[in-house]
Chains A and B, each alone.
Chain A
């Protein structure tokens, strides 16, 4: 035991992992900010009646969900610069790969949510004269958000832990920082400290979703 029985050493370890944790938070929030709206757009395109639009989107979803995220991170960081001749910052490449990947998962969750809204809601909106955009934003979307809250919370919790995959292209996120400390001091304890960080973060995520769930339970269906 080098850390768990020595508060000073533990504090030094946590300080050393600070920057890594900051990067983890950046990946986490940036992915959410980009992938949720993108997922909504992908879901709508996937539901388009024209095959020429929905078929490529289906393929996109298949590839994103059907190949390892780790591979996708490599692909964005190494393959895209080769093809397009632009160089990515490691962190940006990570955020791009995560956003594209999570958008596919969110899209399917949103699509399921939208399909679960009774057709009568659309019909009522139509006979009342609402436009399609008004129907989507005022009638469908608010009900979808309530319905998808639970599956979305699942994805968000997975995302917290998936951020550790960024270390495969040497982004100095939380897990990499812990690994570095571990090899420097020949101890596995830093890895458990990292695990504790993820656990606490997901505790917060759970609290936030619990709050949202209470906010949205002002009506039942």
Chain B
């Protein structure tokens, strides 16, 4: 489904990603955990072409988004990139809803502009998705009138409206208090039950353990551990994970 090989990325002199490789299979829920600055968000942003990589390759559904020729990353054409990025959905930490559009229009406008859906079709689908995230009654509201948790659920619905093959979450609950976090995680959990392919960058260890099929632990711009959630976060977990989770080591 998604294959990223030997990704390298620097900001100036700082190497943020050092030779990172990740594979995501269809229907898999992958949690990426790690300290701030470990490169996990940067990796996710590279997969969505929000950052460009220095070298390596990214294939989405078998199609190359970027390959490396003679040590330099070569991206597909702008049009091809737009098509590939449409296969990826993205939910941001700070929601990034369009403040000048109502909740409904946030979901309808991209469907119509990008996918060419009719107004009726787009609105019907938008209402279905709003029902799914429990916000049918907020369709006419503007984002500024919603709580953070509600805004994030709208953002999830907006991403779903584009029918992405892989849904990415970049610390979707970091800006929320525990109660609002719970309502957003409930939505993501529901999507996991439906076997959606998802990549979730998160600090919520319990959530990662419960929902993810696979956990990738990153540190210092490298993938340190990559395995089934029950192994990486289970009782056999490593010293590195224990230290990351703030557990005292014995």
Report B150-178 CB contacts with A as 1/0, cut-off 8 Å. Answer: 00000000110010000000000000000
Which residues of chain A are near B243, meaning CB under 8 Å? Answer: none
Residue of chain B at shortest CB distance from A218: B142
Q: Is the CB of A142 within 8 A of B100?
A: yes
How close is B165's CB to chain A, nearest CB, in angstroms? Answer: 13
Q: Is the CB of B114 within 8 A of A126?
A: no
Asked, given contacts A121-B96, A123-B96, A129-B162, whether A221 binds B144 with beta carbons under 8 Å apart, the answer is yes
Q: Is the CB of B100 within 8 A of A120?
A: no
How close is B78's CB to chain A, nearest CB, in angstroms? Answer: 9
Asked, given contacts A219-B144, A220-B144, whether A124 binds B113 with beta carbons under 8 Å apart, the answer is no
Which residues of chain A are near B19, meaning CB under 8 Å? Answer: none
Which residues of chain B are near A191, meaning CB under 8 Å? Answer: none
Query: Which of B81-89, B118-126, B180-188 participates in binding chain A?
Result: B81-89
Residue of chain A at shortest CB distance from B111: A128
8 Å CB interface, B35-67 against A: 48-50
Residue of chain A at shortest CB distance from B83: A129
Residue of chain A at shortest CB distance from B158: A128
A128 to B114, CA, bound (A): 8
Q: Is the CB of A124 within 8 A of B100?
A: no
Q: Is the CB of B144 within 8 A of A129?
A: no
Asked, given contacts A123-B50, A134-B113, whether A129 binds B96 with beta carbons under 8 Å apart, the answer is no
Tell me whether A12 is interfacial, beta carbon within 8 Å.
no
How close is A122's CB to chain B, nearest CB, in angstroms? Answer: 9
Q: Is the CB of A123 within 8 A of B92?
A: yes
Q: Is the CB of A131 within 8 A of B50?
A: no
Q: Is the CB of B100 within 8 A of A143?
A: yes
- Pick the residue among B82, B97, B142, B143 that contacts A129 (CB under 8 A): B82
8 Å CB interface, A21-36 against B: none
Q: Which chain B residues have a beta carbon within 8 Å of chain A's beta carbons?
A: 48-50, 82, 85-86, 88-90, 92, 94, 96-100, 109-110, 113-115, 142-144, 158-159, 162
- 10 smallest CB-CB distances across A and B, nearest first, come from A124-B96, A120-B96, A129-B114, A127-B90, A128-B110, A220-B144, A219-B142, A129-B86, A142-B100, A221-B99
Additional pairs, 10, CB under 8 Å, beyond known A124-B97, A127-B90, A128-B162: A123-B96, A124-B96, A126-B49, A127-B50, A128-B110, A129-B115, A130-B110, A134-B114, A219-B99, A219-B100
Q: Which chain A residues have a beta carbon within 8 Å of chain B's beta carbons?
A: 118, 120-121, 123-124, 126-131, 134, 138-139, 142-143, 146, 218-221
Please list 5 pairs of residues, one from A and one from B, whose beta carbons are closer than 8 Å in the complex, sorted by A's number: A123-B96, A128-B162, A219-B142, A220-B99, A221-B144
